[in-house]
Structures are given as structure tokens and as C-alpha cells.
């Protein structure tokens, strides 16, 4: 049996599961997903370029790590598992919100995801799995938020960055 994703309705209620590949066929079927935005102490975010072997948006820039929780797995458990598998490290993760998006990648398929966003801090080595990640770079969050060269960004990157910026702004206001 291949990897399965958790299907959800518009209210976010579980509807069962489906093979991950089938969930991305055609217009896509709404399912749970997550993205992780790793930060460092200098206010930078770790971006990763998707492997050329990816079915959807190959070689596009995206967040630090993204995937789908398996049936019965929480977003945090899935994110911790995938960070280790894709980037070779783990760190404490904080959930910061959820958004839904639907994007078509030509004839390759689509994403229709209810995407949980998690963030965490990391200062050590990053060891990307080449089957998942082609390249990683640290970028200033403020520069990413004003970037206009986003043609090769995965469609879920900007909403996640905006959610992170809002969360960090609220945290600064609460402290200040």
C-alpha cells in the first residue's frame, strides 16, 4: 500500500483517506497537508528548492519542508518525521495557523490542500535528501515578503510566509 493522505471537507472534517498520487490527479481532491518554516536567530527563513524529480512544481522554491500527515498522525508528528527525513534534523515546532489553497500545475496535476503551518528554530547543519530537495538557502523574511521575483515559487510559499510574519509581529507586540 502506498502513502495515503487524509481527505477533508470544507469544514475541515475527516472524510477518509486516498492514495497520495490519486489525490493530486486532475483538479486534485481536498486533503490535509502541512508546511514548516524553519527560522534562525538572524531572522532568516530556510527555503528549499524542490527536487527536479517532484511531480508537481519541480525545481520551484518552497518553505523548509512540506508533506502530508498520514491517517492517525498529527501535523506536528508528521512535520517532525519529515524534517528528519528531508533535511536531517529535528527541532521543536509551533503551529501558527492553517490556510486552504487550490493550485493547478498544468497537466501534471494539482494541489487542493488544507495546510497547517508550523515554525521552529534551527542553527545547525542541514543535510537535504536529494530525492526531495535540490538546494537550501537562508533568506531574510523581510526581503521575501517584498520579493517580486516569485515566478518560481510554489503556490503555497507566500501565504505561509505571510502567516509567519503576522505571527512574529503579534509576538513582538505582545512583548513590547
Strand stretches in 20-149, DSSP E = 31-39, 44-50, 61-62, 65-67, 94-104, 110-121, 133-140
Nearest CA to 118 out of 72, 81, 153, 66 is that of 66
| Choice among 113, 123, 132, 162 that is catalytic | 113
113 is catalytic: yes
CATH of segment(s) 4-175 = 3.90.79.10
Query: Can you give the pLDDT of all 176 residues of the chain as single tens digits?
Result: 479 999 999 998 999 999 999 999 999 999 999 999 999 999 899 999 999 999 999 999 999 999 999 999 999 999 999 999 999 999 999 999 999 999 999 999 999 999 999 999 999 999 999 999 999 999 999 999 999 888 999 999 999 999 999 998 865 655 65
Amino acid at each position: 500500500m502506498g502513502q495515503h493522505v487524509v481527505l477533508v471537507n470544507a469544514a475541515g472534517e475527516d472524510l477518509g483517506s486516498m492514495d497520495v498520487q490519486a489525490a493530486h490527479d486532475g483538479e486534485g481532491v481536498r486533503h490535509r497537508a502541512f508546511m514548516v518554516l524553519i527560522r534562525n536567530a538572524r531572522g532568516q527563513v530556510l527555503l528549499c528548492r524542490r527536487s527536479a524529480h517532484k511531480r508537481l512544481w519541480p525545481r520551484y522554491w518552497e518553505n523548509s519542508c512540506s508533506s502530508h500527515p498520514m491517517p492517525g498522525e498529527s501535523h506536528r508528528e508528521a512535520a517532525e518525521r519529515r524534517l528528519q527525513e528531508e533535511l536531517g534534523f529535528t527541532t521543536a515546532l509551533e503551529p501558527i495557523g492553517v490556510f486552504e489553497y487550490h493550485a493547478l500545475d498544468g497537466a501534471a496535476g494539482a494541489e487542493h490542500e488544507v495546510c497547517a503551518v508550523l515554525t521552529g528554530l534551527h542553527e545547525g547543519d542541514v543535510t537535504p535528501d536529494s530525492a526531495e530537495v535540490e538546494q537550501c538557502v537562508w533568506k531574510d523574511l523581510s526581503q521575501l515578503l517584498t520579493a517580486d521575483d516569485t515566478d518560481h515559487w510554489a503556490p503555497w510559499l507566500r501565504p505561509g510566509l505571510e502567516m509567519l510574519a503576522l505571527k512574529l509581529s503579534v509576538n513582538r507586540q505582545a512583548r513590547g
